[in-house]
Structure formats: C-alpha cells, structure tokens
Chain A
Amino acid sequence: MKIFVPGDSAAQSVGADLVAVAIAAEAAKRNIDVQIVRNGTRGALWLEPLVEIEKDGKRIGYKNVTSDDAAAVLDGSHPSIGEVDTFEWLASQDRVTYKRVGIIDPLSISDYEAHGGFKGLARAQSMSQAEIVAEVTESGLRGRGGAGFPAGIKWKTVMDATADQKYICCNADEGDSGTFADRILMEGDPFTLIEGMAIAGLAVGATKGFIYVRSEYPAAISQLNKAIEIAASRLGNFELKVRSGAGSYVCGEETAMLESLEGKRGVVRAKPPLPALEGLFGKPTVINNVLTLGSVPEILASGAAAYKARGVGRSLGTQVFQLAGNIKQGGIVETAFGITLDKLINGYGAGTLSGKPIRAIQVGGPLGAYFGQDKFGVSADYESMIDAGGMLGHGGIVLFDDSVNLAKQARFAMEFCSIESCGKCTPCRIGSTRGVETIDLIIEGKEVAKNKALLLDLCEVMTEGSLCAMGGLTPLPVKSALQNFPSDFGGK
C-alpha cells in the first residue's frame, strides 16, 4: 500500500514528520506492508498534513492528520476529502507549471518522467537555439518574479551576445511576504526547475547555472542539492549549483542578487549595463524567477500555442496565485490569468480565518498595493492590476480582517524598506526613515494635512528617484493605504 505524507515545509510545520513516523509504526504493528512517499504539498495548505492512501489507483485524502490519528487513517475513519483528484478546490484549477507538485515523489526521476518530465528538454535538444527562444517568445511567457518582462526577449539578448562564458541564474530569493510558490515548486518538483534551466542553457549557449535560494528555505536548498545530483547525468554539459542567500530581502532584486552570488555585499547595480549583457562576473546572464523557468519545460513539451491559449490580453499562460495571511483556505491556486481577485479570496480562499469581514488585501508582496472591497472585482493580470493602481507582483495575496489598521501597515512598509534598503541610493535609504517619522506624526494627529502632503511628496521622490524596486515601489503600499483607507489616517 502506498501512503503519501507531504514532506513540504508547510506540511512539516504543522507536524507531517511525526505523522509519517506514526503511520509507519501503526502499519508495522498491523503487519501491513506500506510504502510512505514524502510528496510535495497539493497546495491546499489549510488541510495539511493531508495524508493520501492509494487504493485501486485512486488517492483518498485525509485532512489535518496528527500523529494521534494514524490508526484512524489506516482504518479509513479519519475525516476525508474523498478522492483528491476530484476535490473541487484542486480539480477546478489549471495546473501547468505545478502539474506534478504533490502528485509525484519529488526525488524520483522515474516518477518525473512518467508524468511528462524531460519531454521539454528532449524537444529542445532537437531544436536550434533560435527555435527554442522563438518558442518561448511565442508562448508569451513573462517574468513571474513580478516585473513581467517577456522571457523570450531576455533570452534572445543573451543568445545574441558573444562571450566565452554565459550563465543562467535562477532567482529563488522569494522574500515577499505572502508568497511561497517558488518554495513549494523547489521542494515538491525540483526537477522541473532544473529542466527549465537546462533548456535555458541550451537556448542561450550557457553551460553554467546558479540557483540563488534564500537562507530562510533550508529544506528547499537541501532538496535542490539532492535533485541536482540525481539529475546531473541528464543535463549534458550544463553544470548547476545552489547558492544560499544570507538574510537580505533586497538580494531578490536581480542585480543585488548578482553581487551576492559574486560574494559581495548585496548592493543594487545601476542599469545599464543590462545583466543580459554584463551580468554574473560581467558575463551575459539570463536571470529568471523559479516559476518562469519552471514554466519552460511544459511550454517546450506542449508547445507555445497551448500555453498562450490561456490568459487574457498580454498576460498569457497561468499564474500560480498564493492565498495567505488571515485566510480560511490558504494555499496555491494555479489558474489562467484573468480570474477576479474576489474569486480567489472569497471563492478559493473562503474569506478570513477569523471569520470577520475582509477589510483589506495586499497583492504582490510588501511592495504591492492595499485594496479594499471596491477593488475585489479587478482581474488578476499584469495590466488590470496596474490600471487599478496596484501590481500583480509574484502573485501573492494577503488577507486582513477588520482589525487591521492601514496607517500601521503603511508605516510598516516604510520601516521594512529602512531595514532592508541596501543603502546605495538616497531616496530609499533616507526616504524610508523619513517616511516612518512622517507617518508617526500623522498617526499622532500632528499637523495631519501638512504631513500627508509631505508624505506624498516623499513618495514621489522615492518612486522617481530610487535605483530599484525596493525604494521605487515602497510608496505603492503607502499611497494605496492613504487613498483607499483615509479614515485610518485621521482624514475623510
């Protein structure tokens, strides 16, 4: 009998390891022969640990299992969600990048291949560099890290550059609060990312790659290292290494990440030169997010047309949305761009965990806007989010109930920027500290109108004058909080 107990960090964080031990012990006691697979998470995180027992080719899911429930799970009497593949919350999604996550044993290459793995790489190996790049361009794939830059155009720039060495760097410094899709893919299906990077290497002529993973993700680092060792023989001359971050948020900015990979302080570089031309160690470098590279194998395997048939406008394909914060049914929802925020947070998310009304959501991480109910109808795609005064970012949505105070959240945005600023440019380094002070005065009710005007002026300076998104986008949560929740700032 095959039993799946997720080995994902989120599942572990609520006791999955103890559950695995308890089930093994109970099975031994009953003399049942079981194989326990530590799969990734299905993404329905509120059900974790979600244990699945395979019977007659069907996987039956048991929710919120604790180590005391081993006997009940084996008896089949523990609360169940039925057959996991037909569970509406999951079945209604469109899993493309995440097609194998939670289903396979993450470190079994035969499982990976049985579920379509390495098909994309095999096809890429039969194509010219230009053909691979054209396929990715044609798919409409845009950078999933947040900036949404077309991946194919970036790849073409690197392909066309002449150099003795080129690099593929995967940005796995997923520092935005409310985002965890990169982590879950790296832990739950690491070969997909590895395959995507190998394809990128073929496309642009790069033989070396680095995955820069934040140190807050020790399990992902360990999983990737194991997976790279297992897959090494399949990657031709492409060499891949994992590098750990060291607790700096701004190293998720691509040029700061390059500095950090070179062993230096994670200080942002001025652009130009573009990293595509002068990147890691001064060489042409593709820098893509985990989900961008993780989407590439399926694009190559099934073709650009199938991928771009999903989505809306210029936001094509699928986005892996992450539902977080004060949420009843938090987790991963992969679906085509264009779903409304309301369907994500009230549909899939089922509202707040506390049961109180949703007062605000923050979309796109700490640099994303705070929206109230009036914006819940907005379509979740790159352009619609910008039109609504926000940004999609990495696709994370954080819910807050009616106990939230948006002046406090705005203050935190400035405070976070002051803690994490790399210090290179003045608007970010000093502006963030002045921002905290100014918001404090507003909260204290001192010269509110004057200080609000000052704060907006400061926001403009930071937006226009900062080198990177850290200082440049910190004003987004601040201004959106001011505009959408004026009552929290002593105004009307």
Chain B
Amino acid sequence: MSSNSWNVAIAEDVIATLRDEPGPVLIALQAIQEKFGYVHEDALQMIADAFNVSRAEVFGVFTYYHDLKKAPQSEKAVKICAAEACQAVGCDKLIADAEAAGFEVEKAYCFGNCALGPAAMVGDRLIGRATVEKLK
C-alpha cells in the first residue's frame, strides 16, 4: 500500500486500466486506494463517470466496505484481530496495551492465523503471537 499524494491524472490512468473489467466499481475503488493509500473524495465522481453509474452508487459501495478509507492512514495504524480465537488468547489486553503505546488500533476480524494468536497486521505483514513489542 503506497501513499502518494492525490493526483487526478494518475487516478484517471488507474481507472482507465479497468475499463474492460466486468463489475468494475469496487475494483476501481480498491485500485485508487492501493495507489494513494486512501480514496480521495473526487475519485467517486471520476469512477461514476468512467463506468456510467451514479455517484450515489459509487458512494454506496465506498461506504459499505471497511477496507476503503476516506483519508490517509496514520503511520501508527495497526490492525489487531478481535475475533473469538484471538479473544481466547488475550487480544483485549493487547489492544489496550497497543493503544496505550500510541498505536492507532483498528479492530479486525480474523487474519486466518487462529492457532498462533493474538494476530495483528501492519501493512501486509502478519504477526503471530503478537505483542506490543512485535508491532514496532
């Protein structure tokens, strides 16, 4: 995930590469987020125009999915699994400790690392038997 500053021309290129994809709205939003680290408000109208749907429809998709963000993520952002298997090995305490250590914790629900919990993810890096120390 990169975080280049918002650039209309680059965004247009990103959207243009998806022109022939079936059902393109979600993947366009994902591609914009992949490129910029978030989905700039202006991208919604651009996607609507490119795929001949209303801005409202694009907005609806954008706001439905937890992954899609309207602002760049903090460098201190971490995802910590808060689902049952990680609850069983103390993720509540890990979340509290991580917040106390200054991390911006987003609760996630399962990274598929349920035998080595608590699990956390920083960027695309999965962490097993997670501790605050390992998040750094």
Contacts and interface: CB of A to CB of B under 8 A. Distances in A.
Given A174-B112, A246-B30, A366-B84, 11 more contacts: A12-B126, A45-B115, A45-B116, A46-B115, A216-B110, A218-B124, A246-B29, A247-B68, A261-B23, A362-B84, A412-B87
Contacts of B110: 174-177, 179, 216
Interface in A206-263: 215-219, 243-249, 260-263
Contact of B114 (A180, A249, A265, A400): A180
Interface of A: 9-10, 12-14, 45-46, 48, 174-180, 182-183, 215-219, 243-249, 260-267, 281, 322-327, 330-331, 353, 362, 366, 396, 398-401, 404, 409, 412, 416, 419-420
Interface stretch (B7-15, B57-65, B70-78, B97-105): B57-65
Contacts of B64: 248, 265-267
Nearest to A267: B64
A412 B84 contact: yes
Contacts, number: 152
B116 A246 contact: no
B66 interface: yes
Nearest to A243: B27
Given A362-B84, A400-B88, A404-B88, A179 B114 contact: yes
A305 B61 CA distance: 46
B119 A13 contact: yes
B23 A281 contact: yes
B27 A177 contact: no
Contacts of A178: 83-85, 114
Contacts of B119: 13
B66 A247 contact: yes
Contacts of B115: 10, 45-46, 180, 322-324, 327, 330-331
Chain B interface bracket (under 10, 10 to 19, 20 to 34, 35 or more): 35 or more
A216 B84 contact: no
Contacts of A218: 124
Given A325-B89, A326-B89, A14 B114 contact: no
Contacts of B67: 215, 245-247
B127 A13 contact: yes
Contacts of B84: 177-178, 325, 362, 366, 398, 409, 412
Given A216-B108, A281-B22, A14 B116 contact: yes
Q: Among the interface residues B28, B85, B86, which one has the most CB atoms of the partner chain A within 10 A?
A: B85
Contacts of B24: 263
Nearest to B68: A246
A412 B84 CA distance: 9
B22 A179 contact: no
Contact of B112 (A216, A366, A399, A401): A216
Nearest to A352: B88
Contacts of B83: 177-178, 366, 416
Nearest to A249: B109
Contacts of A401: 88
A215 B29 CA distance: 14
A177 B109 contact: yes
Given A263-B61, A265-B61, A10 B116 contact: yes
Contact of A264 (B25, B86, B88, B89): B25
Nearest to B79: A216
B26 A246 contact: yes
A397 B109 CA distance: 16
A199 B84 CA distance: 36
Contacts of A247: 65-68, 108
Interface in B1-42: 22-30
A180 B116 CA distance: 11
B114 A324 contact: yes
Contacts of B25: 263-264
B50 to A, nearest CB: 12
Contacts of B22: 262, 281
Nearest to A323: B115
Interface in B116-133: 116-117, 119, 121, 124, 126-129
